Amino acid sequence: MTNISEIHVTKTIVNEFLDDFTQNILDSDVVVVGSGPCGVAAAKYSAELGLKTVMIERNLYAGGGMWQGGYLMPKNTVGAPANKILEECGVNLKDAGNGLYVCDSFEMVSKMLASACNAGVKLLNSTNVDDIILKDDHVEGVVIQWFPAKHMPSFMTCMDPIAIRSKVVIDATGHDSVLVKRLSEQRSGIPVPKGCGSLWVDEAEKQTVELTHEIYPGLIVAGMSATSTYGAPRMGPIFGGMLLAGKKAAELAHEKIMGASVKGMGKGLKISHRAPDVLVTE
Ligand code: 48F
């Protein structure tokens, strides 16, 4: 039998949260905003590269768009070579031919998240990123608020958020491109996100990876957020481009922080690190 008091439980939670927050979250190498396929891949690989990594998700649950594969059917598809990322995480894949693979959505979410946890990623859930820390010429972290606080009655809206610092921030917020949008309001040359274009699977998968880049010093735009920023085509319920974009974002972050490009990651996966030169605008 245990003899656990109520205040012992409370004190344990409070102390553990504060310790974790101040030691592992407050001042990190990489903050990934969004925990969809791109965000989780970015966080997993950043941590595996030895970077102190925090992933922030406004929802109670992590996983973003991975929970369903289209039309609410829980089967996710990925195109080669992104199947290797899922194989690394232990996800069972079925070969659907022509370089297409399919798996259970639940298995993909849970095993990717487990892989990110094993790599040492810290997750802040129910947390909305309201803003970035923006100094003269670089982004230096994010401004956060409890997501439920966003839904408080208007007389409570004067509640101020708090800030956490990181060397690199990755905008993996999906269709909303939240951080790029915020930056575009304040810096010339940053495109106002226009939303994605109509469906074209192959081209969208390619461009999602190509458009993932450091859009401003300290801010990397990745995955659907990059696609939406430049109005590139949507890809529909296929997640390979998102996983590869997340991996590329992690490698770019590593290169920026450590000054060295990445070798030997991802078991033979090769991703070009060049910034997008053909932008899909107008
Ligand atoms: O939408 P989401 O899954 O983006 P992604 O990782 O992948 C896109 C695909 O799921 C899908 C697709 C086919 O591949 O078309 O759309 O690029 O994940 C984005 C996550 O970011 C969270 C949001 O709740 C979601 O889980 N998010 C968005 N804005 C914020 C945020 C914010 N301000 N603060 C915290 N989390």
Q: Whose CA is nearest to atom 29 of ligand 1?
A: 173
Provide the domain limits for residue 218. Answer: 29-64+121-258
Q: Whose CA is nearest to atom 22 of ligand 1?
A: 34
Amino acid letter, residue 28 = S
pLDDT, mean of residues 137-141? 97
**Residue 278 — very low, low, confident or very high, per pLDDT cuts 50/70/90?**
very low
Domain-embedded: residue 128 = yes
Q: Whose CA is nearest to atom 30 of ligand 1?
A: 173
Q: Is 231 a residue whose pLDDT tops 70?
A: yes
What is the residue-wise DSSP string for 193-257? P---EEE-HHHHHHHHHHT-EEEETTEEE-THHHHHHHTPEE--SB-HHHHHHHHHHHHHHHHHH
**Residue 276 — very low, low, confident or very high, per pLDDT cuts 50/70/90?**
low
Interval between CA 177 and ligand 1 midpoint (Å): 9
Question: Which CATH number is 185's domain given?
Answer: 3.50.50.60
What is the residue-wise DSSP string for 181-198? HHHHTTSTTSPPP---EE
Overall pTM surpassing 0.85 (yes/no): yes
Integer Cα distance of 225 and 175 in angstroms: 5
Domain-embedded: residue 101 = no
Q: Is 149 a residue whose pLDDT tops 50?
A: yes
Domain-embedded: residue 175 = yes
Closest listed residue to residue 250, CA positions, set 142, 167, 129: 167
Integer Cα distance of 118 and 111 in angstroms: 10
pLDDT (0 to 100) of residue 265? 57
Backbone angles phi, psi at 170, to 5 degrees: -110, 120
pLDDT (0 to 100) of residue 266? 52
Sole residue written with tokens 């078991």: 267
pLDDT (0 to 100) of residue 282? 38
Ligand 1, CB cutoff 6 Å, lining residues: 33-39, 56-59, 64-65, 128-129, 172-174, 176, 178, 223-225, 235, 237, 239, 242
> Number of folded domains in the chain?
1
Domain-embedded: residue 155 = yes
